């Protein structure tokens, strides 16, 4: 089993990676970082993996767990919230992790009422426990 972390390039991603590392260490397992891309073009995939590797390395160092084993899964999805959510959910079903860690961002009350979010879709539709990490500000 593993701990999956849904990754996106935003401020809450660093917190999600850090907590994913903590959870993986606590559970004695590895961490799989799931990142949705529009396409799996080789050049873009390598650039994404390099950026994600840097972010994971920084997160592991920040929590003092540089030895946590991890892997990156680039998943073709899209830009639409439903497509991104389904890509993550399908990958989580394939991986069968014991936990999914996601980052959440603050939204205005109007944004909550009218717009869906990937985090909301994952919370409602995932078949595994989810740990939501949100920055205090």
Report the CATH number that the domain containing residue 27 is assigned in CATH. 3.40.50.620
Residue 111 is predicted with a pLDDT of 60
Nearest Cα to Cα of residue 122 among 6, 27, 10: 6
Q: Considering the domain boundaries, does residue 70 fall inside one?
A: yes
Q: Considering the domain boundaries, does residue 135 fall inside one?
A: no
How many domains does one find in the chain? Answer: 1
Residue 116 is predicted with a pLDDT of 59
Residue 113 is predicted with a pLDDT of 56
Q: Considering the domain boundaries, does residue 23 fall inside one?
A: yes
Give the rounded distance of the alpha carbon of 59 from its chain centre: 13
Q: Which structural domain, as residue segments, surrounds residue 34?
A: 2-124
Residue 112 is predicted with a pLDDT of 58
Q: Considering the domain boundaries, does residue 38 fall inside one?
A: yes
pLDDT along the chain (137 residues), means of 10: 88 90 97 90 81 94 96 88 91 97 78 68 94 84
Element (H, E) at 99: strand 99-104
Q: Considering the domain boundaries, does residue 136 fall inside one?
A: no
pTM: predicted TM-score of the whole model, two decimal places: 0.89
Residue 12 is predicted with a pLDDT of 75
Q: Considering the domain boundaries, does residue 45 fall inside one?
A: yes
């Amino acid at each position: 089993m593993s701990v999956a972390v849904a990754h996106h390039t935003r401020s809450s991603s660093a917190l999600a990676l850090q907590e994913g590392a903590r959870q993986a260490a606590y559970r004695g397992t590895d961490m799989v970082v799931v990142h949705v891309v529009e396409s799996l073009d080789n050049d873009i995939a390598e650039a994404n993996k390099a950026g994600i590797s840097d972010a994971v390395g920084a997160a592991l160092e920040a929590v003092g767990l540089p030895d946590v084993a991890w892997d990156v899964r680039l998943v073709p999805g899209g830009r639409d919230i439903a497509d991104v959510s389904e890509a993550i959910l399908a990958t989580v079903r394939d991986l069968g992790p014991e936990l999914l860690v996601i980052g959440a961002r603050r939204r205005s009350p109007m944004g909550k009422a009218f717009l869906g979010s990937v985090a909301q879709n994952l919370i409602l539709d995932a078949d595994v426990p989810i740990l939501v990490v949100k920055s205090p500000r």
